[in-house]
Amino acid sequence: MNKWKQIKIVSFIAFASLLLTACSSLNPKAQADMLKKYTYEVESVHDLKAGGMAIGNNFEGLSLSSLSSVALGLLRKDLSLEAVVNMKVSNPTGEAVPMGPFKYLLEIQGKPFFEGSVNESLSLANGQSKVVPLAFKANLFGVTDEKKGAEKLLSDILTRKGNGLIVLKIKPSVRIAGKDIYYPGYITVDNDLLKGISGLIKK
């Protein structure tokens, strides 16, 4: 094989490799799939409130119905639960994906409780991370009908009981040519948000 033919073969292989890489980077599905390789974890929870009342860590044995704001919420069947969950997004891969807006979903007892969105774009290089706040506020009666059911549910939340009671999921997107391509389905960030939440709550 002469030298010129060797150069042509090497050039062709290099071009084909470059073309495959380019096609992969332009493939929306491949880009979206990369987001599942990112890590998502709850770093802290703050401004946790029920019926507008700030929640601390001393609710064991406390009668919820004795609290005026909670009692009024139970009576009106309008008992809000709200907080801000700080979620840390990290890129452990060797590639940076232009992450666009994403949706997030909280489920209580397997039922959708709150769905929100973050209209912030992230570009994380390998090893980089960023904390994104996810705020939520919704009526507990949306996931339970009876007064006693809502009171027990709130009690379980405040005392951190009930495995898998609250689940946090996200649906991220990649931004390609000005368009947001969402990941198919939701990625579970925390399948038991109550577990160890006492150490995560910040006032």
* 7: in domain: no
Dihedral angle, C-alpha 17, 19, 21, 26, nearest 10 °:
-170
**In this predicted structure, what is the pLDDT of residue 169?**
97
Please give the pLDDT value at position 59.
53
* Full residue range of the structural domain in which residue 63 is found: 28-202
User: What does each C-alpha distance from 163 to 137, 159, 193 come to in angstroms?
Assistant: 22, 12, 9
Q: Is residue 12 part of a domain?
A: no
Q: What is the pTM of this model?
A: 0.77
State the SS3 of 122-166.
Answer: ECCCCCCEEEEEEEEEEEHHHCCCCHHHHHHHHHHHHCCCCCCCE
In a domain, 64, yes or no: yes
Question: What's the confidence (pLDDT) of residue 196?
Answer: 53
In a domain, 145, yes or no: yes
Please state the domain count of the chain.
1
- Each residue of 134-190: pLDDT tens digit? 999 999 999 987 767 888 888 887 776 666 789 999 999 988 888 888 998 999 999
pLDDT of residue 123: 86
Residue 190 within a domain: yes
In a domain, 3, yes or no: no
CATH number of the domain to which 84 belongs: 2.60.40
Residue in this structure with the two tokens 């150069």, named with its chain if needed:
7
Scanning the structure block, which residue is given the tokens 């939520």? Answer: 136
10-residue averages of pLDDT along the chain (203 residues): 53 42 55 86 89 69 66 88 94 86 94 94 89 96 81 78 82 86 92 66 54
Instruction: State the pLDDT at residue 202.
Output: 56
Backbone region of residue 15 per phi and psi (left: phi > 0; alpha: psi in -120 to 50; beta: other values): alpha
Q: Residue 17 domain-assigned?
A: no
41 within some domain:
yes
Q: Rounded to an integer, what distance in angstroms lies between the CA atom of residue 55 and that of residue 198?
A: 11
Around Cβ 170, how many Cβ atoms within 10 Å? 22
